C-alpha cells in the first residue's frame, strides 16, 4: 500500500416444564451476571471516504487483498456477500449494533496484529467479537468496521503447575467449563454458555464461584494484549502493572486479549444443588424481606438468583416471582439453608442436583436456551445495591405489571436479581483493580426485550430507566448510581460505571493517553 493511498484517506466522526417452555418462549436474554458482554476490543469510529481513493470496505474487496497474504492459513477473511457473512456478524442485540464491512477470523496472535495494523494503515475502525453479547450504545458508532473474530482462539489448556490454565481470548463459558472439567478443574465464569470470557473479565466478571474465589478479574495472572498499534505486550503484576490494573474493570478500552493465564481450582465431589421457588405477587414483601435477612449470613457457596417475569400458565394476570437457591455444596446443607423459603408457601418448587450445564438449562442459559438466542431489541439497566428496599421492589413490580398490560410488546422482558456471595470479592483490596463496585451485595438489572419495533423503542427506554431510578432513589446512596460496565446501557454517568472516587477516572485517562493516545478503542462505554 503506497503513501498516496494513505494520504487520500479522510475520516468522519426450561418439573417446571410448562414454566420452562413458557419462559423460554417469551424470554430471549443475554448472559446475565456472567458477564454477558463479549466485545472487548472496540476501536475508533472512522468512515473512509473519497471517491478516487482505494478504501478498505466491502465495496472495495481489492483493498483487502494485501491483508490476505499476511494471515495464517487457518485464518479467514469474509466480506459482505459471502454466504458466511450474516451468520458471523449476527449478534444477541442487532439494535444499535456495529456496522461491519469485513470479518477477519483470526487464528493466531499474529493474525490479530496484522489485522490491527491493516486497520491502522487504512484508518478503518475495528471491533472484536467472541460471544457477540456486547450491547451498549457506543457500539453503534462503529461504521464500516472490521470485525476481528476471536472464535478460533478458543484453547483451554491446563498449565504444568496445575494451578492455572491458558485460555484463548475467544473461548466461551461452555468451552472453559467443559475443558477444565475434563481435567478435574473449574474456574470462575458466568453461567450463560455461549458468552465469551474475555469481555466479562475485562469488566470485572461476576460468577457463581465468586464468593469462594473472587471475581473473574481476580483470577487473572497475566494476559497477552495486542495494542492499537499492533504491538503485543504482557500485562501482570510484574509487567506493565498499571495496564494490568486497568484491563481488570475497564479493559474494553485498552486492547485485544489473545490469551489469559487464569487461576483454576479443583472440582468438588458433590454436584451443585438447587431449589427453585415460584411465588405469586402477594408474597413479594415477605420474599424480599427474607432475602435481605439471608444476605447477611449468606454462605460463600450459595447463590440467590431471581426473576420477575410474566408466565401466563402460572398467573395469567400478573408477573410471577421466580427465586432460586443455587448451592455448591452437600445437598443436605443446601436444603437446610433454603428451608425458610418453603415457609412462604410457594405455588411451585423444583429441587435437584446437577452439573453447571444442568443449571444453565434450568436457568435458560444453555446453548439451546433463551439466553443464547439472538435478534431481539434488548436494553439493560443495571444497578448495584447493598440490599433490597422492599417498598421500592413493590413499586418496581407494580410498574412492570402496569407496563406489560399497557404495552404487551415488552411483556417478554424480565427483571433479573443476582445475589452472589461476596466474601472473596470483598477480601480483595478495592483499589487493586479498576473494578469499582466490590462492596455491592446485589446486581439488579431490568432487561427490556421485544421484537424490533421502532415505535416501542422510546417506551422501552423510559420503562427501563424508570425501574432503575425507583431502586436508586430508595437506595442507601441515591446520589451515586453503581452500574456494572458489562451490562451498562451506555448513557450512565461515567462515575457510575468506573467509580465515584475521583482518582479512578483520572488514572484511567492517564493510562489511556499512554497506551491508546489516539483513542482508537472507544466503542465500549468510552471514558474519553
For residue 368, pLDDT beyond 90:
no
Mark 469-490 as b/e (b = at least 16 C-beta within 10 Å): ebbbebbeeeeebbbbbbbbbb
Confidence of residue 7 (pLDDT cuts 50, 70, 90): very low
Question: Could you tell me which residues are beta bridge partners of residue 223?
Answer: 235, 260
Q: What is the number of other CB atoms lying within 10 angstroms of the CB of residue 492?
A: 22
Strand pairing class (164-168; 156-158): antiparallel
- Of 282 and 14, which is predicted with more confidence? 282
Continuous H helices in 354-501? 356-362, 390-406, 423-426, 457-473, 494-498
In percent, the amount of the chain with pLDDT more than 90 equals: 80
Please name the residues in contact with 321: beta carbons below 8 A apart, sequence gap of 6 or more. 278, 279, 280, 281, 283, 284, 287, 306, 307, 308
pLDDT of residue 64: 82
User: Between residues 439 and 57, which one has the greater pLDDT?
Assistant: 439
Domains, the chain, ranges and CATH? 3-13+31-149 (3.30.43.10), 156-267+505-515 (3.30.465.10), 272-498 (3.40.462.20)
Using one digit for the tens of pLDDT, what is the confidence trace for 398-423?
A: 999 999 999 999 999 999 999 999 99
Paired sense of beta strands 232-236 and 220-226, if any: antiparallel
Q: Is it the case that residue 34 has pLDDT exceeding 70?
A: no
Residue 65 has pLDDT above 90, yes or no: no
Residue 57's pLDDT is: 56
The secondary structure of 174-220 as a DSSP string is HHHHHHHHTTTEE----S-TTSBSHHHHHT----TTHHHH--GGGGE
Return d(Cα 483, Cα 487) in angstroms, integer: 8
Q: What does residue 352 show for φ and ψ, rounded to 5 degrees?
A: 180, -170
* pTM of the predicted structure, to 2 decimals: 0.88
Q: How far apart are CA 502 and CA 247, in angstroms?
A: 18
Number of C-beta neighbours around residue 219 at 10 A: 26
Can you give the pLDDT at residue 268? Answer: 93
> What's the maximum distance between 2 C-alpha atoms anywhere in the chain?
76
Provide the pLDDT confidence category of residue 56 given band limits of 50, 70 and 90: low
Amino acid at each position: 500500500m503506497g503513501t498516496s493511498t494513505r494520504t487520500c484517506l479522510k475520516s468522519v466522526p426450561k418439573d417446571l416444564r410448562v414454566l420452562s417452555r413458557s419462559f423460554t418462549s417469551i424470554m430471549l436474554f443475554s448472559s446475565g451476571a456472567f458477564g454477558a458482554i463479549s466485545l472487548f476490543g472496540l476501536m475508533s469510529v472512522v468512515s473512509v471516504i473519497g471517491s478516487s481513493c482505494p478504501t478498505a470496505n466491502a465495496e472495495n474487496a481489492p483493498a483487502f487483498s494485501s491483508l490476505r497474504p499476511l494471515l495464517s492459513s487457518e485464518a479467514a477473511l469474509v466480506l459482505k456477500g459471502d454466504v458466511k457473512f450474516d451468520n458471523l456478524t449476527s449478534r444477541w442485540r442487532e439494535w444499535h449494533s456495529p456496522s461491519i464491512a469485513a470479518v477477519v477470523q483470526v487464528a493466531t496472535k499474529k493474525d490479530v496484529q496484522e489485522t490491527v495494523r491493516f486497520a491502522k494503515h487504512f484508518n478503518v475502525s475495528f471491533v472484536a467479537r467472541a460471544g457477540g453479547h456486547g450491547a451498549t450504545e457506543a457500539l453503534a458508532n462503529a461504521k464500516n468496521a472490521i470485525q476481528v473474530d476471536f472464535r478460533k482462539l478458543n484453547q483451554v489448556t491446563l498449565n504444568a503447575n496445575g494451578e492455572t490454565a491458558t485460555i484463548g481470548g475467544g473461548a466461551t463459558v461452555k468451552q472453559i467449563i467443559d475443558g477444565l472439567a475434563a481435567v478435574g478443574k473449574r474456574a470462575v465464569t458466568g453461567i450463560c454458555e455461549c458468552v465469551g470470557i474475555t469481555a466479562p473479565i475485562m469488566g470485572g466478571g461476576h460468577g457463581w464461584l465468586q464468593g469462594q474465589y473472587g471475581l473473574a478479574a481476580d483470577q487473572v495472572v497475566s494476559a497477552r494484549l495486542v495494542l492499537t498499534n499492533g504491538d503485543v505486550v504482557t500485562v501482570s503484576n510484574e509487567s506493565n502493572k498499571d495496564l494490568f490494573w486497568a484491563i481488570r474493570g475497564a479493559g474494553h478500552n485498552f486492547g485485544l486479549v489473545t490469551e489469559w493465564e487464569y487461576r483454576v481450582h479443583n472440582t468438588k465431589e458433590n454436584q451443585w444443588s438447587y431449589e427453585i421457588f415460584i411465588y405469586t405477587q402477594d408474597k413479594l414483601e415477605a420474599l424480599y424481606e427474607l432475602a435481605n435477612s439471608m444476605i447477611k449470613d449468606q454462605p460463600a457457596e450459595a447463590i440467590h438468583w431471581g426473576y420477575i417475569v410474566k408466565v401466563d400458565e402460572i398467573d395469567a394476570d400478573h408477573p410471577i416471582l421466580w427465586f432460586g437457591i443455587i448451592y455448591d455444596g452437600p445437598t443436605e446443607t443446601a436444603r437446610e439453608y433454603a428451608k425458610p423459603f418453603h415457609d412462604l408457601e410457594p405455588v411451585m418448587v423444583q429441587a435437584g442436583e446437577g452439573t453447571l450445564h444442568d443449571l444453565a438449562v434450568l436457568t435458560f442459559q444453555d446453548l439451546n436456551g433463551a439466553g443464547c438466542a439472538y435478534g431481539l431489541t434488548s436494553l439493560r439497566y443495571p444497578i448495584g445495591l447493598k440490599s433490597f428496599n422492599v417498598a421500592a421492589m413493590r413499586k418496581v413490580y407494580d410498574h412492570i405489571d402496569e407496563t406489560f398490560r399497557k404495552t404487551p410488546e415488552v411483556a417478554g422482558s424480565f427483571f433479573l436479581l443476582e445475589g452472589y456471595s461476596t466474601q472473596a470479592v470483598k477480601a480483595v483490596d478495592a483499589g487493586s483493580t479498576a473494578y469499582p463496585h466490590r462492596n455491592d451485595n446485589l446486581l439488579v438489572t431490568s432487561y427490556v426485550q421485544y421484537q424490533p419495533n421502532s415505535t416501542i423503542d422510546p417506551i422501552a427506554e423510559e420503562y427501563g430507566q424508570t425501574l432503575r431510578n425507583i431502586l436508586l432513589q430508595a437506595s442507601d446512596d441515591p446520589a451515586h448510581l453503581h452500574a456494572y460496565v458489562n451490562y451498562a446501557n451506555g448513557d450512565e454517568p461515567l462515575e457510575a460505571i468506573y467509580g465515584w472516587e475521583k482518582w479512578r477516572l483520572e488514572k484511567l485517562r492517564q493510562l489511556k493517553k499512554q497506551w491508546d493516545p489516539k483513542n482508537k478503542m472507544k466503542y465500549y462505554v468510552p471514558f474519553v
